[in-house]
A and B are shown apart, each in its own frame.
Chain A
């Protein structure tokens, strides 16, 4: 089956870079996603990467995918207090966009 793992908590100083990691055990899916959840709210798509890509950059966000090690990371440059949230990696499974989610990493940004 498929499983996604994430570390649960990350604390960074404002202005530093944040790196959130995600590992998975097995998947044949085509896309991998990063979602952001602010307190008491739903999830919002941040970015996604196609499985045949190694890297995708979108402004302050950089996604790295290592298929050999089954490892995905999200780097946030110049982290701001507004970036404080829970970040979920998710793996698309099936043609109807069924998503399998990691446990989520809570990012805390302090002055």
Chain B
């Protein structure tokens, strides 16, 4: 079945460590996105990529990095520079047209211990 998969579902990180969250899609979508969700807030865009080998900063990119070496993969690295990384992270993908549906993964909950 086609879909978008995030892993792991839960992730624990010690302070000062980098961690990488995986996002894979087999929907043949060009665009992929990373959002961060905190309680009582909407989703905030971290990074997005419209095409392979290209990505752009979103609203809260500081302390994060991404790569888009393959169309189906868009991993997110949370670096030690991110001061408040504990959150729920959601990956999404969509086609290029303005009204195409964005499909979301099941999310990764990152906790700093």
**Residues of chain A with a CB closer than 8 A to B105's CB:** 42
Interface contact B98-A97, CB-CB below 8 Å: yes
Contact A45 B102 (CB under 8 A): yes
B26 at the interface (CB under 8 A from A): no
Which residues of B have CB within 8 Å of A96? 31, 48, 50, 94, 96
Residues 96-113 of B, flagged 1 when their CB comes within 8 A of A and 0 if not, give 111111101111010000
Interface check A98, CB cutoff 8 A: yes
Provide the bound-state CA to CA distance between A97 and B94, in Å.
Answer: 7
Per-residue interface assignment for chain A, residues 26 to 38, with 1 indicating a CB less than 8 Å from any chain B CB and 0 otherwise: 0000110000000
Q: Which residues of A contact B42 (CB under 8 A)?
A: 4, 6, 88, 100-104
Determine if B104 and A88 form an interchain contact, defined as CB atoms under 8 angstroms apart: no
Contact of A42 with B107 at beta-carbon distance under 8 Å, contacts A88-B43, A97-B31 already known: yes
A95: Cβ under 8 A from any B Cβ: yes
Given contacts A30-B98, A48-B99, A95-B98, contact A43 B104 (CB under 8 A): yes
CB-CB contacts of B20-43 with A at 8 A, as 1s and 0s? 000000000001010100001111
B66 within 8 A of A: no
Interface residues on A, range: 20 to 34
A98 vs B97: C-alpha distance in the bound complex, in angstroms?
Answer: 11
Measured between C-beta atoms, what is the minimum distance from B57 to chain A in Å? 12
CB-based nearest A residue for B107: A42
Q: A43-B90, A96-B48 are in contact. Are A103 and B41 (CB under 8 A)?
A: yes
**Nearest CB on B from A53, distance (A):** 12
In the assembled complex, B52 has its CB within 8 A of some CB on chain A: no
Interface set of B (CB-CB < 8 Å, partner A): 4, 6, 31, 33, 35, 40-45, 48, 50, 90, 92, 94-102, 104-107, 109
